[in-house]
Amino acid sequence: MNLLDKPREILLRLIKEHNTDLKTVSEQVGKNAAYLQQYITRGSPKTLHEDTRDRLSEIFNVHPDIFRYGEEGESLPIPSKPSNVGSLNLQIPELDISPQAGSGAIISDIVEHQQPVDHWSFPKSLVGAFVTDPSKLAIIRVAGDSMEPDYVAGDRILVDTGHVIPSPAGVYVLWDGLGVVLKRVEIVMGSDPKRIRIMSINPAYPAYELLLDEVKINGRVVGKWNWK
């Protein structure tokens, strides 16, 4: 085997670009100081373990698959989008849609159909404790003032787009026939057909009701950022 195959060449290049060395990176991935030196010069181990690839991807901010081999012994191509498979971190997309928390522009599309503008990295262990399927998470920006003081224009919120039934009552992103809005939503008990009550936190905005079939629930808000 050619010791300087693609994964090894990439690793050496990244180490040089980041002005570090094999010993330091070996210790950063939780191995003995000579681990990566032996990997490069002696071919031992022949391939890097999945956990080591994941740590290297975090250290150098690259996809872990660039350190992995295909059937022909070359490194596999890097996926066009960040992958959560085999990684300790989740890559959560930020969507270029601001829920209009108040009256505003008509937005005909829905959250899960938007093209991501960026990706945020979070530990799986952090978000996995709060949602059933972390792959359904998305980040969007608040606009308007109808949900103040809890949600202020410019806030980034974490939305579980897999939660599309407005139960339990809570804050949801939904399309209400006029636009994508951020509101507190609850099912009107005893209604047939099912209706939902859509409410703002800011008392200046009145509540209103719609048939459940008239709206599109895009997800439940499960977190937000407080900048200090």
Domains observed in the chain: 6-67 (1.10.260.40), 89-224 (2.10.109.10)
Contacts 24+ apart (CB under 8 A), 111-118: 111/138, 111/140, 111/159, 111/161, 111/173, 111/180, 111/218, 111/219, 112/138, 112/161, 112/218, 112/219, 118/93, 118/94
Instruction: Identify how many contiguous H helices and E strands the chain contains and give both numbers.
Output: 5, 9
Q: pTM for the full model?
A: 0.59
The tens-digit pLDDT sequence of the chain (228 residues) is 445 678 888 899 888 888 899 999 999 888 999 999 999 888 888 889 888 988 898 888 788 878 876 434 444 444 444 445 445 677 888 887 766 665 433 333 444 455 677 888 877 777 776 777 887 888 888 988 999 999 998 899 999 988 889 999 999 999 888 888 999 999 999 999 999 999 999 999 999 999 999 998 988 999 988 776
Q: How far is CA 151 from the centre of its chain?
A: 20
Side-chain half-sphere CA neighbours of 28 within 13 A: 16
